[in-house]
Structure 1
Amino acid sequence: MSPCDFWIPDDPGFIVEFDESQHFTIPRKLVLSAYPDDHPVGFSRDRWIALCEKHNAKDNDPPYRDEQRAWYDTLRDLIPPLEGLQPTVRIYASDFAWCSLDPDSDNDLRQFLEYLDELKEKYLTLDRLENPDKRWTLDEMEQGWDKA
């Protein structure tokens, strides 16, 4: 498997993936839709599927690039929990001005870690919703989970 974006050596550790628009393709939508419902992920599958529909990104260099990216993303999502690690957390690049954070700043590091904790708390509890079969629209998700 190719390297991940970030490794957080928690106990147990977890992968953090930073997804730019090119990750949101139809092949990615197809595999996300096929994930087992009981497999834990550290992001909202529904939101990622909706972002795939919104962006419908295409990268044809090489011609199989979209499929390859979807495959590697799938491996990073499915394998960690099977190996006793926490689920992979995915960050959408457009959610925040990530480049504004200074890795040498304690304040920025704390802000980033709080964001990760919030993501883990928010998205790992989605499996426990009273209506787990509901498919969320992108508009519902952008309005905030508290209102949904």
Structure 2
Amino acid sequence: MTQNQKRLQTRGFVVHKELGFTFIETILTLFLLSLLTSMAIPTITTVATHLEIGHIREQLMHQVSLAQQVALSQEKKVTVHFSSDQVTWGTNDQKHRVWKLDPDYQLKSNYPNGVLQFHTTGQSRGGTIFLFHQGALITTLQIQVASGRVTWEESDVP
């Protein structure tokens, strides 16, 4: 006798105690697991989208702040160019730095020709940068007049 097959003696009959699950129990368990998973997937994708948007917003803010810091530390004018798919910046005598966006995202700004300039004091003209995801506005970044400080406002994200 093995441990898996314990025999019980009941009124002359030998009864085997079987260990394991029936087919119906297994199917029911798999159904419930798939139901719970199907309810969780939309939540997981929403969280992932919010994280990705937050990361891109932080990167954009970082690029603008870094350009301002370079203007202050090197005491040179730094020009930041915003196009729909990338941000480039640098001084006249320094190689420009490029930060490219994912193809699902687009940038627009209210700066003339998409150009923001930080003076040697770190000051700039105020303006707004709009970040779109698949055509929908998701974040607005404001660059404050004179100080060049970057703040943001989140739009309703699907």
Higher relative contact order (CA 8 A, sep 6+): 1
TM-score (norm 2): 0.22
TM-score (norm 1): 0.23
Where is the helix percentage greater, Structure 1 or Structure 2?
1
Greater C-alpha radius of gyration = 2
